[in-house]
Chains A and B, each alone.
Chain A
């Protein structure tokens, strides 16, 4: 990831925030999370981190086994 890539991501994020707070300011809120500002940013980031850590934790706890687990029987 170069600086340019981060700048592009920043511009995309800012554009989406402008869309959310300016053009969608009067959008009818259908769900409880619609009242949380930048909810989908939070959900994307926290969700991704959560998926990685919870899955890895489950793997280390009891799911992951050696590749010859079934053959070693």
Chain B
């Protein structure tokens, strides 16, 4: 193997993050795109079984391990970084550009990590880099949400690290291998840490809290990396854990319920990340070859159409300054390109035939049926109703078509934003029309045909009657100027109580101790200034003067000496 090839793909992105700041400002956005393109080419060329190993202390680290599974994830992470780079070409802030590359590098590092140590390092890199994409919005909401996002992810990282340390202590191995559901503490801690990044309820609230508050371009990267890299780790470690079927189905429906209540368009999309990742988590839980193929294919499709949807919502936010359904409407004729590119993403996520969601989501649902998880299959079909209802109907209807309270005149978006959207839309259609382009690269040989008459009939009937029900009840879905409380309530609403118990009470103890200490020190000082103050109240606050106090001091000394002598004599006699 030539020496120049021994570079983990993550390093191309990370190198880019450090090179960009030293380049001229006008060149950065263009060169940004080169780094994920180089990473993409490198990943494409790496053979199965390719390993980069090194030794750290007494452990062998696997910095890069290429398999069919990791390659397909690496390809889509690099591809979406290219598309995201095009979409954010107009964005000249180097901090965001570098953070996006670091974040993508972290995702690639997690993807190809063969050991827990490497995994953890890149895991934390993703958390830190992605936080900046929230903070870069530079308003009070984003600042607070970013801090919550960071703290929650550090908590998740701590769970993961604790699990890893216990696991390594028990097994002596730091290599990432599939864990059996043996109920060990280490396995559950690792699962909890990964589940937090996968946004499995109740560890999911960070996603719907932070993504809507991120920058327009940052949200596109956020929608792609964290949850999907965590899904990959779930596949590697927890495939076949049946508890994940329950959790996956639950989160598919959970996101749907909250999307009804959300008013912010990017919050609706954020809740539908949770819902769509639910399909993947359920697929991991089923654990069959078909289910793992379906999970992988759906992660691939999801990254493309979800980025496209966030790009569309980002254009709306950028050109109108608004992101709430209650403040939008009536702009369909003013931005038809944005609308119809968005709708390609909406058709894809809803599973319309000829779009990529159709060929991937159905594979997970069919895998549930084939493995005789009938209830899970039926509930996943129900979740797909909710997906079309919100992403394909509610959001575009109230954002673009419905009459607004006042006329909105959107500004013209930069051309590159539409080019980025068009690139994602192209891939959504390409993989929908030619599923074999994706199926040929899935982890296992594919024995599934999406374009059957049965599947087409099923999809057409569900989608048609979801639309009819929406049309009849659309008034009920109009945005309301409210928020819906989620599990972040426990650390947001109770923050003051927690502050009172853990901060204010500790502060009071410290204050009291400080006062006592100062009082004691004052007494010593007083004693040093004038020892007589201990015995005579009138002496307090005065200094000792030898001439003034000689008589009283002598008297006191004599009294003490006499007392001592008297005491000594008495003790001798007795």
Chain A residues in the interface with B (C-beta under 8 A):
1, 9, 12-13, 15-16, 19-20, 23-24, 27, 30-33, 38, 40-45, 47-49, 51-56, 58-59, 62-67, 69-70, 73
A19, A47, A53: the one contacting B466 at CB < 8 Å is A47
**For the complex, is B464 an interface residue (Cβ under 8 Å from A)?**
yes
Residues of B within 8 A of A67 (CB): 481-483
Q: Are A59 and B462 in contact (CB under 8 A)?
A: no
| Binary CB contact string for chain B from 173 to 190 against chain A (1 if under 8 A, 0 otherwise) | 000000000000000000
Q: Is the interface of B mostly helix, strand, loop or mixed?
A: helix
**Smallest beta-carbon distance B1→chain A, Å:** 48
Q: Are A55 and B467 in contact (CB under 8 A)?
A: no
Which of B80-88, B410-418, B453-461 lies at the interface? Answer: B453-461
Q: Are B457 and A59 in contact (CB under 8 A)?
A: no
Residues of A within 8 A of B465 (CB): 13, 40-42, 44-45, 48
- Beyond A16-B464, A44-B462, 13 additional contacts (C-beta under 8 Å) are A16-B457, A32-B374, A40-B462, A44-B461, A44-B463, A45-B465, A47-B382, A48-B389, A49-B473, A59-B260, A65-B483, A65-B484, A67-B482
Q: Which of B439-485 contact A (CB under 8 A)?
A: 453-454, 456-458, 460-471, 473, 476-477, 480-485
**For the complex, is B492 an interface residue (Cβ under 8 Å from A)?**
yes
13 contacts between A and B (CB under 8 A): A31-B377, A43-B378, A43-B382, A44-B461, A44-B466, A48-B465, A49-B469, A55-B261, A58-B261, A63-B258, A64-B485, A69-B485, A70-B483
Q: Are B482 and A30 in contact (CB under 8 A)?
A: no
B385, B461, B477, B482: the one contacting A64 at CB < 8 Å is B482
- The count of residues in chain B whose C-beta lies closer than 8 Å to any C-beta of chain A is 44
**For the complex, is B381 an interface residue (Cβ under 8 Å from A)?**
yes
Residues of B within 8 A of A20 (CB): 457, 461
What is the CA–CA distance of A32 and B256 in the complex, to the nearest angstrom? 25
**For the complex, is B396 an interface residue (Cβ under 8 Å from A)?**
no
What is the CA–CA distance of A44 and B460 in the complex, to the nearest angstrom? 10
**Smallest beta-carbon distance B185→chain A, Å:** 34
**For the complex, is B11 an interface residue (Cβ under 8 Å from A)?**
no
Q: Are B369 and A31 in contact (CB under 8 A)?
A: yes
**For the complex, is B386 an interface residue (Cβ under 8 Å from A)?**
yes
What is the CA–CA distance of A63 and B263 in the complex, to the nearest angstrom? 13
**For the complex, is B257 an interface residue (Cβ under 8 Å from A)?**
yes
Q: Are A52 and B483 in contact (CB under 8 A)?
A: no
**For the complex, is B170 an interface residue (Cβ under 8 Å from A)?**
no
Residues of B within 8 A of A15 (CB): 460
Q: Are A70 and B457 in contact (CB under 8 A)?
A: no
What is the CA–CA distance of A54 and B382 in the complex, to the nearest angstrom? 13
Q: Closest residue of chain B to A1, judged by CB?
A: B471
* Given A51-B257, A63-B261, A64-B483; A16-B461 close (CB under 8 Å): yes
Q: Is the interface of A mostly helix, strand, loop or mixed?
A: helix
**For the complex, is B493 an interface residue (Cβ under 8 Å from A)?**
yes
**Smallest beta-carbon distance A67→chain B, Å:** 6
Q: Are A9 and B468 in contact (CB under 8 A)?
A: yes
**For the complex, is B496 an interface residue (Cβ under 8 Å from A)?**
yes
What is the CA–CA distance of A28 and B496 in the complex, to the nearest angstrom? 60
| Binary CB contact string for chain B from 368 to 397 against chain A (1 if under 8 A, 0 otherwise) | 010000100110011001100100000000
Q: Are A66 and B257 in contact (CB under 8 A)?
A: no
Residues of B within 8 A of A58 (CB): 257, 261
Residues of A within 8 A of B258 (CB): 55, 63
What is the CA–CA distance of A12 and B483 in the complex, to the nearest angstrom? 38
Q: Are A12 and B473 in contact (CB under 8 A)?
A: no
Residues of B within 8 A of A53 (CB): 476
Q: Closest residue of chain A to B390, judged by CB?
A: A51
What is the CA–CA distance of A65 and B469 in the complex, to the nearest angstrom? 27
Q: Are A65 and B482 in contact (CB under 8 A)?
A: yes
What is the CA–CA distance of A42 and B480 in the complex, to the nearest angstrom? 29
Cβ-closest 8 pairs across A and B: A55-B260, A48-B469, A44-B465, A40-B461, A44-B462, A45-B465, A47-B385, A64-B482
B457, B468, B470, B476: the one contacting A40 at CB < 8 Å is B457
* Given A47-B385, A65-B482; A12-B374 close (CB under 8 Å): no
A30, A33, A64: the one contacting B484 at CB < 8 Å is A64
**Smallest beta-carbon distance B332→chain A, Å:** 15
Residues of B within 8 A of A27 (CB): 454
**Smallest beta-carbon distance A41→chain B, Å:** 5
Q: Which of B250-280 contact A (CB under 8 A)?
A: 256-258, 260-261
Q: Are A59 and B484 in contact (CB under 8 A)?
A: yes
What is the CA–CA distance of A45 and B125 in the complex, to the nearest angstrom? 45
Residues of B within 8 A of A13 (CB): 461, 464-465
Residues of B within 8 A of A49 (CB): 469, 473
What is the CA–CA distance of A8 and B481 in the complex, to the nearest angstrom? 35
Residues of A within 8 A of B369 (CB): 30-31
**Smallest beta-carbon distance B403→chain A, Å:** 15
B261, B467, B481: the one contacting A9 at CB < 8 Å is B467
**Smallest beta-carbon distance B34→chain A, Å:** 42
Residues of B within 8 A of A40 (CB): 381, 457-458, 461-462, 465
Q: Closest residue of chain A to B480, judged by CB?
A: A64
Q: Closest residue of chain B to A32, judged by CB?
A: B374
**Smallest beta-carbon distance B160→chain A, Å:** 28
Residues of A within 8 A of B385 (CB): 43-44, 47-48, 51
Q: Are B462 and A43 in contact (CB under 8 A)?
A: yes
**Smallest beta-carbon distance B349→chain A, Å:** 16
Q: Are B469 and A23 in contact (CB under 8 A)?
A: no
